[in-house]
Amino acid sequence: MRTIPTWVDKVHDRDKIEQCIYDLCFCPDGSQLIVAAGNRVLVYDTNDGTLLQPLKGHKEAVYCVSYSKDGKRFASGSADKSVIIWTSKLEGILKYSHNDPIQCLAYNPVSHQLASCALSDFGLWSPEQKSVQKHKSSSRIYCCSWTNDGQYLALGLADGTVSIRNKSGEVKMRIDRGGTNSPIRSLAWNPSKEEAYDILCVADWGQNLSFYSMNGKLIGKERPLGFDPCCVSYFSKGEYLLVSGANRSCGLYTKEGVRLALVCEQASWVWCCEAHPDSSYVAVGSQDGTIAYFQLVFATVHGLYKERYAYRENMTDVIIQHLITEQKVRIKCRDLVKKVAIYKHRLAVQLPERVIVYELYSQDAADMHYRVRDKINQKLECNLLVVCTNHIVLCQEKRLQCLNFTGLKEREWQLDSMIRYIKVVGGPPSKEGLLLGLKNGQVLKIFLDNAFPVHLLTVSSAIRCLDLNSSRHRLAVVDDNNDLLVYSLPDADLQYSEKGANSVVWNTSCDAMLCYSGNSTFNIKADNFPAHEQKLQGFVVGFCGSKIFCLHVISMSTVEVPQSAPMYQYLDKNKCNEAYNIACLGVTDGDWRALGRAALHSHNYNIARKCFTRTKDMKSLQLLQIIEERGQAGSGDPTLAEADILAHEGRFSEAAKLYRKAGQDSLAMNMYTDLRMFDMAQEYLGADGTMDKQQLIKKKADWARNINEPRAAAEMYMSAGETAKAIEIMAENGWVEMLVDVGRKADKADHQTLSLCAQHLRQLKARTYATELYRKMGELQSVVELFVEDEDWDEAFAWAEKYPQFKELVYVPYATSLAEKDEFLLAQKAFHKAGKPGEAFRVLEQLTHNAVTENRFSDAGYYFWMLSLQCLEHLQPSGKKSFGSEGNEEGKIQSREPSAEVVQRPDVDRKFEEARELEKFYDYQRRASMYYVYHTIQRSGNHGNSGNYGNSDNPGNSGNPGNSDNPGNSDNPGNSDNPGNSDNPGNSDNPGNSDNPGNSGNPGNSDNPGNSGNPGNSGNLGNSGNLGNSGNPGNSGNPGNSGNPGNSGNSGNFGNCHQDEPFTSYMPEALFNISRFLTHELAVIQPPGISKFSTMYTLAKQARNLEAFKLARHVLDKLLHLHIPERFQEDVELAALKIRSKPFQDNEEHQPLCYRCSTTNPLVNASAGNQCINCGHPFVYSFVSFEVLPVVQFVVATGISDEEAVRLIQQAGGDAAQKADKKEDEGGEEQGEEDVWRAPEEGEDNQLNLEDDTMTSDDPFTANLSALYPGSEMSPVTLNRSALKAQDPQDIIVCRWPKPLRFQYYKNLMPDVPITHCVHCNKLFHTDDFILQVLQKGHCPYCRTPAPHITDTSE
């Protein structure tokens, strides 16, 4: 650092007596200097030291001055105990006083509040207030300073303490300096905004400098000064500190208190010092009246190696900057940095007492982390410092010393002249080479392991700068005459020279290119070409690729310079390879294209490819590939290649001439036709008579099409024979008439033209014309496809009947369209007609899945029933009418035709297939029944009322019975017109069934006294489940419920346990039977969607209502072990608790009776389910009320077919059978065991004679009952031919199933109880329940068969 005096003034009074300068300050813009000199305030111009005006107002010596940060006013304080406020126009505006002389002043940097400190107190004044707030001090005040934010004021006291006050003058903190009682002469807060907290610098007359934080904590350590300080002052940004005092000098210190340099020395004490606000100027005031103004010049200490630049900052820090990535790293040395050197991964920093060597953590080129490698603890003197891999080199005048990192001197060179420039030029570790430029003009090269310098050359004047290119074959030298001299090595021949240079560097990426600076410009020169000049301030110190590193004053900048000028210089000389090397340093895309074109014309295809690849010029690359392929094929005519290049560049006339010169007129014609220059193309067409004129017409047509003249283009294509393109244009523009005309004119054999026309007419919706052309072609399948696309199903069906091979083509789209319209049953039928039984089955399965997912359980039951029939139909031979499909064709369930593969399977596979289908049939039947009954539970109530224990407001029986329970009635299009049971033999010939009053639905049977002892009629089986008679007290059989449909649950009802609808038309007995049936079924299988909780909850509720307390308790206990919905948890637990207050028994009235063995069954049969616990006979339920029907199932003896059994039953019973037996006996025919049954005579007991005089029995249905016991295997009732003949047909119910299933036979043991049998689903019903359901819904409640086709008239 150097100090340059700017101006000096000495202040005297009138008597020429020196006036002490106690204080001074700058105005905020630095243009004026305010000085306290004697009893006056002097105002100086800082530019030249001119005294602008002396201000008089004080009577005694002025001790302090201070300027506000806004620049509007300043203040002065004097020994006359007064403070005067002055404006920036040097006018006094206010004066106030203290009781003691004023010691110091300080303006708040934010609020501009003035703090004035006397010996014993201090005052706070601001322009907004009239009075001055004064506060006492415990000790004499010498100095004061505000924090940067203006919140706190620090006072330096004579007792060695610091008092921190807030803006109101109140004490915030007191800094006791560890027992030190030396008076504090000066203090100052660091103005830097980069510090994390406020730092207070304190200088006391104990000759110490210390730093404190706001909370009084000492920062760092106290630094001894060796003199009594009078003033401390920070630079405006806080980077440096000025300290002056009794040592008669002013010193520059770091912000941590480390002494850096001497600013000035004076003849007497320096009482005050201040740094200029915006520049490196310092003003000082002395005891002898001297005012001096100095400029501080900070020398640049730096080093450069390739893209890494190291320089000194704030005198004590070293910054390493990566000039490419702009990364920076700071090393804090905390001492004055004298020299910096950098080389590869080494960094050397010279401090006053030592040299520190740093190294990179890694060898990564982008790594910026340095660590200390070695320290040389020696005080070394040098002019230049160089660092190598393992050594440092010190240059002092003519001497050069090499030291290792331990400080040991290994070698020394004494030269003839002073060293002006030194640079490391690389080499192996410990053998690096140094390039030296001497004052006498010599250029030497020294190796660290060689004691003898190598002389390279000598120039006429002193060396200023030099550099060696990367190949070490050229040396550039700048001398004191500002001449640039470039020599070749090792012969030292001068190649060229330039004037006006002050620095030079070679490009590290290109041997032949250098850059030199001078006269505020920099010049780039390649080889012997003229230099390219640009404006730039500073010195060029590095050149890497296209980046130039320029040092201006103390800042390093990176300039990106395109290397276009030297590249074009090489191109002018047709040096494509050298131009390419220059371009790789950095040029624009336009320069790359120019280089590629030049290389193409020079037939340097390798360089051209690289250029076009970089610019992604695909067309030029394609041209290049064509030219190279032509050359590889042996026809690489340079003239033809040049013509292609000219055509590619748009120089068509020249290209055409070269094409003709090469004998390729056709290429010229193609070029002109592609350019739509048809007149020029015609010239080249006429020159070659062999050319095909059709090609030119096609080109014209293409052009007409591209310029949006489609009609002309179509006509030209037709004339040129390009019919397909003409048809395409007609189709694009929708010209139906033209397409039809082309199609009609085309020959039948021209299949392609006809097909194209028909296809486009089809797309244009002109299907009539398309049909005409398809018929002309004989494409019948396409005709059918047209009808299908138009959804003209009548025509499509007609064609399918006429041509059976198109059935699948018609019916599959038809079925798909029906499925999309939710007409799935019709879609299923269509799939069958299309020969796609698998698709039909999948449609039905999807329907079933959707119904379950959507909680449409009635539909789910119906679809499962249909699926079960599909399983049976799959086993039927082709063409046989399926079960359940009698009647109108719309109501048929189409069978899945067994494929040829199934028919041709071996017997074992067929049996396995049959067993699997039967298993699926029974499973689907069971699921259908379960979903059918669960629909009632799900739809007949609402769980929302379950919280009302004992609710007697069940309105479920007051609504319209039946209508709300048919969600799917309107969706069954297949059963609407079923005409009847035309194929059922045996039902049409029974004249007695139509007049049977027992089956007519007469409700009067409930009063029949003959049935009162029959346990099956105790609850009036005909009416107890009647959905519409809940208001008739005479029919309910339950006095507790008579006449009051709302009280069906009595006071013990613990909530409506059902699901979706708040009302139900079902009597409690029906709900009880339904839930009990489903509970038993759920023990076998748990279908998805069926809630076990809902079912058992319903059963528990109805069991409580019907006084089946034992069952209710059992079910509630089971419920407690299930996952109960949270909203029902409390209700179920409460019901389970209250049910224990009821008797542990069930009402016997509701216990089911087995009509096979007359055993009364418990309400829950956990082991057997829905069958008798004694004989194992399955209960037969009425599929509305689910009461047990008084029927017993029997089977026919072995050897009797179902058809024969039906025929025997339909014959006259009783006497007719006996007579037939007698006739057979008289005929002498031997009777078998199965034919010896005899009907009893009148008055005789009923007997079953299986052999004459060997076995008698009252009735075949009661025979062997004595052998039945609980748990025994059920033995079904078996009837032989005689027994079949003896049965009354009115009492027999035959459920006909298709093969391979056998018929099912039931006998009604209570003929007075009318039972209806649905011949479609083979379900049995109480006649009254069935009739009511049919009247309400119009179809069978289970299978949804329409009313006219439901039952067999014989039943």
Q: Tell me, what's the pLDDT at 819?
A: 64
Residue (of 1031, 1055, 1032, 1059) closest to 1045 by Cα position:
1031
Residue 1060 DSSP class = B
Mean pLDDT check: name the lowest of 174-183, 525-534, 620-629, 967-976. Answer: 967-976
- pLDDT (mean) for 446-460: 92
Q: Tell me, what's the pLDDT at 1244?
A: 42
Query: Residue 968 — pLDDT band, cuts 50, 70, 90?
Result: very low
Is 1053 a residue whose pLDDT tops 60? no
Which residue is listed with tokens 């008798």? 1172
Q: Do strands 463-468 and 454-458 pair parallel, antiparallel, or not at all (unpaired)?
A: unpaired
Q: Tell me, what's the pLDDT at 992?
A: 34
Q: Tell me, what's the pLDDT at 1120?
A: 86
- pLDDT (mean) for 5-15: 91
Q: Are 1116 and 1100 in contact (CB under 8 A)?
A: yes
Q: Tell me, what's the pLDDT at 36?
A: 96
Residue (of 713, 764, 707) closest to 734 by Cα position:
764
pTM, two decimal places: 0.50
Is 112 a residue whose pLDDT tops 70? yes
Is 69 a residue whose pLDDT tops 50? yes
Is 955 a residue whose pLDDT tops 70? no
Residue 1238 DSSP class = -
Q: Tokens in use for 696? A: 């030119």
Q: How far apart are CA 348 and CA 341, in angstroms?
A: 5
Evaluated on CA atoms 661, 666, 670, 675, the torsion sign reads: positive
Q: Tell me, what's the pLDDT at 409?
A: 92
Q: Tell me, what's the pLDDT at 600?
A: 86
Which residue is listed with tokens 């004026």? 32
- pLDDT (mean) for 1063-1069: 71
Which residue is listed with tokens 């005006």? 53
What angle, rounded to 10 degrees, do the helices at 693-706 and 710-719 form?
160
pLDDT higher for 164 or 825?
164
Q: How far apart are CA 560 and CA 554, in angstroms?
A: 20
For every residue of 745-799, DSSP letters joined together read: HS-TT-HHHHHHHHHHHHHTT-HHHHHHHHHHHT-HHHHHHHHHHTT-HHHHHHH
Q: How far apart are CA 725 and CA 714, in angstroms?
A: 7
Q: Tell me, what's the pLDDT at 1133?
A: 87
Q: Tell me, what's the pLDDT at 644?
A: 83
Q: Tell me, what's the pLDDT at 1059?
A: 45
Q: How far apart are CA 160 and CA 141, in angstroms?
A: 10
Q: Tokens in use for 941? A: 């109530």
Residue (of 149, 150, 102) closest to 122 by Cα position:
102
Is 978 a residue whose pLDDT tops 50? no
Q: What b/e sequence results for 1209-1228 when a residue is b if at least 16 CB atoms lie within 10 Å of its CB, and e otherwise? A: bbeebeeebbebbeeeeeee
Is 261 a residue whose pLDDT tops 50? yes
Residue (of 884, 879, 769) closest to 1301 by Cα position:
884
Average pLDDT, the chain: 79
Is 689 a residue whose pLDDT tops 70? no
Coil, helix or strand for 610? helix
Mean pLDDT check: name the lowest of 306-310, 1201-1205, 1261-1265, 1338-1342. Answer: 1261-1265
Which residue is listed with tokens 């991964």? 345
Query: Residue 886 — pLDDT band, cuts 50, 70, 90?
Result: very low
Coil, helix or strand for 367? coil
Is 894 a residue whose pLDDT tops 60? no
Query: Residue 243 — pLDDT band, cuts 50, 70, 90?
Result: very high
Is 1051 a residue whose pLDDT tops 90? no
Query: Residue 824 — pLDDT band, cuts 50, 70, 90?
Result: low
Q: What percent of the chain has pLDDT over 90?
A: 34
Is 972 a residue whose pLDDT tops 50? no
Amino acid type, 375 = K
- pLDDT (mean) for 425-438: 92
Residue (of 462, 444, 461) closest to 453 by Cα position:
444
Sheet (strand 184-189) strand order: 184-189, 199-204, 208-213, 218-224
Query: Residue 100 — pLDDT band, cuts 50, 70, 90?
Result: very high
Q: How far apart are CA 814 and CA 784, in angstroms?
A: 12
Is 1299 a residue whose pLDDT tops 80? yes
Residue (of 720, 763, 715) closest to 741 by Cα position:
715
Q: How far apart are CA 678 and CA 669, in angstroms?
A: 8
Q: Which residues pair with 231 in a beta bridge?
A: 244
Amino acid type, 803 = Y
Mind listing the pLDDT tens digit for each residue in 767-802? 777 777 777 777 777 777 777 777 777 777 777 777
Coil, helix or strand for 974? helix
For every residue of 908-944, DSSP letters joined together read: HHHHHHHHHHHHHHHHHHHHHHHHHHHHHHHHS-BGG
Three-state secondary structure along 1158-1172?
CCECCCCCCCCCCEC
- Whether the bond into 997 is cis, omega within 30 of 0: no
Mind listing the pLDDT tens digit for each residue in 1231-1253? 333 343 344 444 444 443 433 33
Is 1065 a residue whose pLDDT tops 80? no
Residue (of 795, 1314, 1259, 813) closest to 1026 by Cα position:
1314
Is 335 a residue whose pLDDT tops 70? yes
Mind listing the pLDDT tens digit for each residue in 1011-1033? 333 333 333 333 333 333 333 33
Is 1006 a residue whose pLDDT tops 70? no
Is 152 a residue whose pLDDT tops 60? yes
Coil, helix or strand for 221? strand
Q: Which residues pair with 463 in a beta bridge?
A: 479
Is 1118 a residue whose pLDDT tops 70? yes
- pLDDT (mean) for 674-694: 56
Mean pLDDT check: name the lowest of 402-406, 1133-1137, 1216-1220. Answer: 1216-1220
Q: How far apart are CA 1221 and CA 1216, in angstroms?
A: 9
Q: Tell me, what's the pLDDT at 823?
A: 67
Q: Tell me, what's the pLDDT at 188?
A: 96
Q: Which residues pair with 310 in a beta bridge?
A: 303, 320
Q: How far apart are CA 1077 and CA 41, in angstroms?
A: 118
- pLDDT (mean) for 925-943: 80
Mind listing the pLDDT tens digit for each residue in 32-54? 999 999 999 999 999 999 999 99
Query: Residue 1271 — pLDDT band, cuts 50, 70, 90?
Result: low
Mind listing the pLDDT tens digit for each residue in 81-96? 999 999 999 999 999 9
Q: What b/e sequence results for 430-452 when a residue is b if at least 16 CB atoms lie within 10 Å of its CB, and e otherwise? A: eebbbbbbbbebbbbbbbbeeee
Q: Tell me, what's the pLDDT at 726?
A: 77
Coil, helix or strand for 447? strand
Q: For residue 1226, give every residue at least 6 positions away whose Cβ sits within 8 Å of its Cβ, in sequence order, or none.
A: none
For every residue of 1002-1044, DSSP letters joined together read: -GGGGG-GGGTT-GGGTT-TTTTT-TT-TT-TTTS--TTTTT-
